[in-house]
Amino acid sequence: MATNLKNLSIYRNNNILPVDDMLIGIVVSEWNTEITEALLNGAVDTLIENGVVKSNIFTKYVPGSFELPLGAQLLIDNTNVDAVICLGCVIQGETRHFEFICQSVAQSISNLNLEYSIPVIFGVLTTDNIEQARDRSGGKHGNKGVEAAITAIKMIQLADELMGDEG
């Protein structure tokens, strides 16, 4: 959870096992591109820093955050990814649109996790303004993309541990 006391880019990698054979899908919203590209860069850099082979990272774009769940489902259905990271940014406006989009995306991503037993990571910023989004996409609160990448790695490792590496 992002607060003014937490930097999203700080993590302990002492319990991350070898990840060079992991296949990671990343679905990125084209809406709020300044933010989502920074999230993508943070995620990709972190995956590579932790041993994921660059050619094993599949990035696909969707128009907005609302389309992230379907983009994730299409990646799962049409590739052999071990996890999908969903990256987006929804900024509060003057209407209730923000609430509907955020709730729908969060619930749909949660459902994909349970339906497929593949980690689908919620890397979507839901902020009040652009400054908060910048602070969480490489600014003073780190980068949610980094957190999403580490979450994907750890959830793949948990699944492998509990279900057996059927790889």
Q: Give the whole-angstrom CA distance, residue 85 versus residue 90.
A: 16
Write the pLDDT tens digit of every residue in 33-67.
999 999 999 999 999 999 999 999 999 999 999 99
Q: What is the pLDDT of residue 6?
A: 61
- The verdict on pTM exceeding 0.85 is yes
Instruction: Inform me whether the pLDDT recorded for 2 exceeds 50.
Output: no
Q: What is the rounded average pLDDT for all residues in the chain? A: 90
The answer to whether 73 and 112 are in contact (CB under 8 A) is: yes
Q: What is the pLDDT of residue 20?
A: 74
Known catalytic residues?
97
3-state secondary structure of 80: coil
Q: For residue 101, what are the contacts with CB-CB under 8 A and spacing of at least 6?
A: 64, 65, 66, 90
Write the pLDDT tens digit of every residue in 103-135.
999 999 999 999 999 999 999 999 999 999 999
24-161: CATH class? alpha beta
Q: What is the pLDDT of residue 167?
A: 47
3-state secondary structure of 8: coil
Instruction: Inform me whether the pLDDT recorded for 161 exceeds 90.
Output: no
Domain ranges for the chain, please list them.
Answer: 24-161
